[in-house]
Each structure stands twice: as structure tokens, then as C-alpha cells.
A and B are shown apart, each in its own frame.
Chain A
Amino acid sequence: GENVEQHPSTLSVQEGDSAVIKCTYSDSASNYFPWYKQELGKRPQLIIDIRSNVGEKKDQRIAVTLNKTAKHFSLHITETQPEDSAVYFCAADKKSGTYKYIFGTGTRLKVLA
């Protein structure tokens, strides 16, 4: 069945360094790819998303890239800060029009001060 693989499962970086999280998806019909950040004990919150007609999107220190041919997309966080420490989830919509997502298993990011 369709799935989304996310790597790495844990990531530690020094404050100020960059962090990259990668996801691959299997459903070639997927068109929408959101990223969520979840702090401990809190709800997942959308931080950025990208649609299939766009290759890259930036929002301040956060960027997402999409390679539809290779079926992978990545989250890039630059100039990391301690408050970036959280679990990050990628997702892909299952098939166009069904409004369902498949989530990756998450990446625990630790930013070391």
C-alpha cells in the first residue's frame, strides 16, 4: 500500500547549524505535502507545505523542496535555535481528491545550545 518513509528518526545539531529531514512517498498521484512540528505534549502544528506544481518553498528559516520524479521531499531548517527542538512529521495526500494523508513516522530534532 501507499506509505511515506521519513529519515532520520533522530537528529542532533548544534545551535546555528542547519537541519535536513527527508521523506519519500510511494503514491505517484500525491499532490500535497505538509510538514508538521509537534512539541512535547502538544498538538501537531503545520509549519510549511508544498504543492506538486512547485519545486521549492521558503518561509524565513524553513524551506521545503520537492522532487516529483524521485518522489521525495525535504525540510530544511537553517540557523537552528533551541526552540526548533521538537518532533517533525512529513505527510503526503493519499490520492488527489480523497483528502486523506499518510504521515511519516517522525524525526526528533534536538538543537544543542
Chain B
Amino acid sequence: DAGITQSPRHKVTETGTPVTLRCHQTENHRYMYWYRQDPGHGLRLIHYSYGVKDTDKGEVSDGYSVSRSKTEDFLLTLESATSSQTSVYFCAIQAEYSNQPQHFGDGTRLSIL
């Protein structure tokens, strides 16, 4: 399995609190992604990174921010969590070549009450 670690694996928090999820990789891959997975919607891209300090928005980026200060770490922050952000969050990585697969971490189950 690709060397991807997500933390925490589970989190319960209250509406309005800030939340940061971490993705750590040991593959030295250039590309990293954050997805959310909800029933009936599959995997939707929140933000992605194409290098240190280089990030861009995905299709569902509202309410989320990201940072990548090192190749191995990609952080996803919910500045003020809302109940609609209750979801399972997956990090993925991809090598720097076209037509390569993305590999996923184990996910973080986030519940916002």
C-alpha cells in the first residue's frame, strides 16, 4: 500500500469550531488531493496541491482551506465547521506523470454536531 497516513481517523466536534485534518505521505509524490465522500455523491474533490505552497480549488471548496508547507504534508482546515461538512474525508496522492493512478489514505470520519 502507498505510504499515506491520515490523522485523526475519527473526530466529533461542534458547529463553529475549527478543524484541521492532516495527510502525510512517504512517497515523495508531487500531487496531493483532498476528497469528501457522501452517500449518492461518490468522491468529490475539495482542494488539491501540485507542489509545495501550490494549491488549487476543486469542485466543493467552499468552507475549506488547505496548506502544503512540505512535500509530505497536506493539511485541510475547516475554519468554522458546519453540520453539512459531516463526511468521510480521503486524502490521495499521485506521482508526477500523466496517466498515473491516485492512491488513497484510510480516510477520516468527521462528525459535526
* A interface residues, Cβ below 8 angstroms from B: 6, 31-32, 34, 36, 42-46, 49, 51, 89, 91, 93, 96-97, 99-101, 103-106
Contact = CB atoms under 8 A, between A and B. Distances in A.
B98 A44 contact: no
Contacts of A106: 42
Contacts of B103: 46
A100 B100 CA distance: 10
Instruction: Choose among A36, A44, A103, A105 the residue with the greatest number of B CB atoms under 10 Å from its CB.
Output: A44
A44 B92 CA distance: 10
Given A51-B99, A100-B45, A44 B104 contact: yes
Interface of B: 31, 33, 40-45, 48, 50, 58, 90, 94, 98-107
A32 B97 CA distance: 12
A43 B58 contact: no
16 contacts: A31-B98, A32-B98, A32-B99, A34-B101, A43-B90, A43-B105, A44-B90, A45-B104, A46-B102, A49-B101, A93-B99, A99-B94, A100-B48, A103-B43, A104-B42, A105-B41
Contacts of A32: 98-100
Given A89-B43, A105-B42, A46 B101 contact: yes
